[in-house]
Amino acid sequence: MAKQTKSVIDFLNAARARELTAIMTYLAQHYELEDQDFGKLAKIMKETGIVEMKHAEALGERILFLGGTPTTTPDAAIPKGLSIPEMLAADVALEEQAVRMYNEASAFCAAAPDLVSKALFEKLLAEEEEHVDTFRKIGEHVAQLGDAYLATLTG
């Protein structure tokens, strides 16, 4: 395996580990929020977790195509028991880290050149930016409107 291909696989596996962390984080949050009767917010977390599953699968398929072995290990611990503002802040940070990682990986893949992996990172990057925006907006609503906004997320 060429050195650049191995480096691309390393980027893909780092991204997959990040996606596995996101999946487990958002599903854990889904369960916690559902249990607390914040069903509308729980649904957003579940849907986001499913998108992240699709990301992990796409990365795994690309890794296999390049001759690597997809990682099955998340890259961070899964936080539990956070308040909703803490949860949203952690989610924004998780997604912002993915955005930085995918920008770097895309640039590397362009220079490698591995334009298929570059395109994959760019697709994931666009979706991760949407997640940042969603979590940031919900967090801003919670900060500005407090319990009145949280009440709209129940049921």
Instruction: Provide the pLDDT for residue 102.
Output: 98
pLDDT given at position 143: 96
Q: Give the per-residue pLDDT at 151.
A: 93
Nearest CA to 36 out of 77, 78, 83 is that of 83
CATH number of 3-67+82-152: 1.20.1260.10
**Quick one: which of 22, 5, 1 has its CA closest to 92?**
22
Q: What is the pLDDT of residue 48?
A: 98
The reported pLDDT for the residue numbered 19 is: 98
**Spans of the chain below 50 pLDDT:** none
Residue 60's pLDDT is: 98
Give CA–CA dist 108/120, Å, rounded: 13
Is the overall model pTM greater than 0.75, yes or no? yes
pLDDT at 4: 72
